[in-house]
Structure 1
Amino acid sequence: MRQFAAMLDFRDAGPLPDWVEHLAVSRLSTLASRARAIREDQHAVVEGVTTPFNSGVNEIRITDLKRQKGIMAWRAGVLLLHDRVIRVAGLRRRYP
């Protein structure tokens, strides 16, 4: 994981193929399955490592929406869901 973190820090995807190979031959099945997933979408992983852009803020908003939707379990209407999502977004701005 430290090697991957270094790739992200320096935005260098050069060591990625070797790193994925190490994952694939590891004895941990979770890491081996992760290696297969990375190989299937290696182009996107390289772009994610090398570009300075990310969708972190959007992912946080989507997670908040899903959490509120799950908490409410559709017991309330869309207006209440909208109100709660707006409140959570406001709290995120104050407390990152």
Structure 2
Amino acid sequence: MPQWLDAVRKTTSQPAHPPAGIDRDRDAVIAGLTLPWNSGVVEGHVNRIKMLKRQMFGRAGFDLLRKRVLLYS
């Protein structure tokens, strides 16, 4: 167990949401905090596609959404 995680458990202040998931996903949390790679570029593309989808809500079908996504890539 990393020392910083032990220190978090011993702190007297209570977080807004208990960190119960940290124990379950400990390897993923440690990797996310220590490795130099991230998914920022992918998240940016997902955010852009969601924005296009919101702009077109109720206006057209999947074919137009596909054209806009490919056009603005």
- TM-score tier after normalising by the smaller chain length: 0.5 to 0.7
Which has the larger share of helix?
1
Deviating beyond 6 angstroms after TM superposition, the runs of 4 or more aligned structure 1 residues are none
Question: Alpha carbon RMSD of aligned pairs, Å?
Answer: 2.6
Would you say how many aligned residue pairs link Structure 1 and Structure 2? 72
Deviations 1:10-59 (A, max 9, x none): xxxx4431354257x533433x2xx1122221110111122111111001
5+ residue gaps, structure 1: 1-13, 90-96
Does 1 or 2 have the higher relative contact order (CA < 8 Å, sep 6+)?
1
Report the equivalent of 2:43. 59
Rounded Cα–Cα distance in structure 2 between residues aligned with 1:46 and 1:74: 42
- TM-score w.r.t. the length of structure 1 is 0.55
- TM-score w.r.t. the length of structure 2 is 0.66
The percentage of counterpart residues that share the same residue type is: 35
5+ residue gaps, structure 2: none
